[in-house]
Amino acid sequence: MATDLVGKAKRVRVYTSEDERVGRTPAAHAVLDLLRRESAQGATLIRASSGFGATGELHTAGLVDVAPRLPVVVEWIDRPEVVARLLPRVKELVPHGLITVDDTEVVLHQPHAVRDIPAAMTAADVMSRDVASVTKDTPLREVVDAMLGKPYRAVPVVEDGAPLGIVTSSDLVRKGGLDVRLDLAARLEGPELHALLERLAPSSQVAGEVMTRPPVTVEAGTPLPEVAALMARLRLKRLPVVDDRGKLVGIVSRVDLLRSAAGGFDGEAPPPRELGLARNTPLSRVMRRDPPLVRPETPLPEVFQAVVATRLNRALVVDADHRVVGLVTDAELLERITPSLRPSALRALMSRLPFAHADPDEAATERHARARTAADLMIREVAIARDDALVSDAISLMLKGNHKLLAVTDANGRLVGMVDRADLLHGLIPD
């Protein structure tokens, strides 16, 4: 299974000098701090011994230097989508200097094991500060535009900077008339997606009419265990973060919390355990023991039934010995089936009803379609862990491959359960 970075990646180099500052903080350190807060894969600060910039002035280290102005370089390697998201904010932190971006190939990526979360760590330390927001009068089409392509499938609704509510993908489906969840919409081909959005354009509905209110929020200084407990208790995937005046300053997600426990140590020894997020819980205590299952030969209608049987919208594929051979997701179903069958597929996925055809032509298409069984539709890259593995190890494994589900097996490799991100979050909360 590939890790986050093995393969194509982007390398960013920030060239500046020691005396460039953002407020009282050296610019290079401000860049490092931003990348750490946003859970970037890692960055290195390199201090040069000599160099010159556009002014032509040569700076050289020496014993007599009192206030050196030596060049420094911050080198950062990450996934292309992460670089695209964070680079504009990195540029804002460099008053003078040079920033380059180039393609690179990662052949080995072995980060350190899961770390303990220090007691001082709060929502502000892990939240994303790059948050799109709308007002209560924003048309629904603009709300969808603000959510598409974002890592969070929700957008806060604000007034004078304070959250009034939040619009989620579910709100758009239940109250806004959107035909499909946003995560599925992202898998539609261009013309299909355009047609979907155009159907929203004439709507007179605005964000204030479909939003969930009041929003559940946390203050920036809330300790992470309290954030985790709140999200687990209310079964929330994300929370807007506010400052002490109630103004929106960020958003924290379930993945942010898990990632905060799975970051590397940058070569340092792990800090002592100072905080009670229970990382040593075995998976056998938090896993679901009745995962939706299909066999490779299971026909298309039964695969749909298994996928929509639970809120996970996923089904594991096992062989005759109960060993995991693949995974079918709702998104893969939509992407891999014949395009002419997608209307029926969307109806089944959104209504959680059996896969049926509205007309005889679709039924005939299915009989001749190439993707007709679970084996035709599944992906073979499945994250797998033993039932005696610790929650901490499972978090690291799940995040490395950006998996939403982890299959759990016994010592003989046979499937005994599964966990998702919500289960792992529960597992981090002490009894």
pLDDT value at residue 350: 45
pLDDT value at residue 87: 92
DSSP string, 224-237: HHHHHHHHHHHT-S
Low-confidence spans in the chain with pLDDT less than 70? 1-5, 39, 49-69, 110-120, 149-151, 179-197, 199-202, 261-279, 332-371, 430-431
- Contact 316/382 with Cβ under 8 angstroms? yes
Quote the CA–CA distance of 305 and 324 in Å, as a whole number: 19
Quote the CA–CA distance of 423 and 426 in Å, as a whole number: 5
Quote the CA–CA distance of 226 and 122 in Å, as a whole number: 9
pLDDT value at residue 239: 93
pLDDT tens-digit map of 249-263 = 999 988 888 877 665
Quote the CA–CA distance of 326 and 380 in Å, as a whole number: 4
pLDDT value at residue 183: 65
What are the structural domains, with CATH classification, of the chain?
A: 7-106 (3.30.70.120), 123-260 (3.10.580.10), 283-428 (3.10.580.10)
Q: Which long-range contacts (CB under 8 A, 24 or more apart) does 168-177 make?
A: 168/212, 171/210, 171/211, 171/212, 172/140, 172/143, 172/144, 172/210, 173/350, 175/209, 175/210, 176/140, 176/143, 176/200, 176/203, 176/205, 176/210, 177/203, 177/205
pLDDT value at residue 266: 35
